[in-house]
Amino acid sequence: MAIHPIEFRYGTPEMKKVWEAENKLQKMLEVEAALAEAEAQMGLVPPEAAQEIRSKASTRYVTNERVAEIEKETNHDIASIVKALAEVCDGEAGEYVHFGATSNDIIDSSQSLLLQESIDIIQDKITRLVKIVLKLADENKKTVCIGRTHGQHALPTTYGMKFALWADELHRQYERLESCKGRLCVGMMTGAVGTTAALGEDGLKVHRKVSEILGLPAVLISNQVVQRDNHAEYVMSLANLASTLDKIALEIRNLQRTEIKELGESFDPEKQVGSSTMPHKMNPITAERICGVSRIIKAYPSPALQNNALWHERDLTNSSSERIMLPEASILTDYILNLTIRLMEKLVFYPENIERNLNFTGGLIMAERFMSELTMKGMGRQSAYALVRKCALEANQKNINLKDVVLQQEGIKDYLSPAEVEEIMDPHTYLGSSVQIVDNVLEKSKEWF
Q: Which residues are the active-site residues? A: 150, 275
Q: Give every CB contact of residue 143 below 8 A, 6+ residues apart in sequence.
A: 158, 159, 160, 349, 351, 354
Local structure of 146: helix, strand or coil: strand
Dihedral through CA 201, CA 206, CA 209, CA 215, nearest 10? Answer: -140
Q: Quote the CA–CA distance of 136 and 418 in Å, as a whole number.
A: 37
Q: Give every CB contact of residue 161 below 8 A, 6+ residues apart in sequence.
A: 137, 141, 434, 437, 438
Beta bridge partners of 156: 146
Q: Contact 362/400 with Cβ under 8 angstroms?
A: yes
DSSP letters along 97-137, please?
A: TTTT--HHHHHHHHHHHHHHHHHHHHHHHHHHHHHHHHHHH
Q: Quote the CA–CA distance of 196 and 188 in Å, as a whole number.
A: 10
Exposed, middle or buried, 3 (CB in 10 Å: 0-12/13-18/19+)? Answer: exposed
CA atoms within 13 A on the CB side of 259: 1
Helix (H) or strand (E) holding 158: strand 152-158
Beta bridge partners of 153: 148
Residue of 400, 396, 372 lying closest to 384 (CA atoms): 372
Q: Quote the CA–CA distance of 434 and 26 in Å, as a whole number.
A: 52
Q: How many helices (H) and strands (E) does the chain have?
A: 20, 4
Q: Contact 50/42 with Cβ under 8 angstroms?
A: no
Q: Quote the CA–CA distance of 103 and 11 in Å, as a whole number.
A: 30
Q: Give every CB contact of residue 244 below 8 A, 6+ residues apart in sequence.
A: 166, 169, 170, 173
How many other C-beta atoms lie within 10 A of the C-beta of residue 224? 20
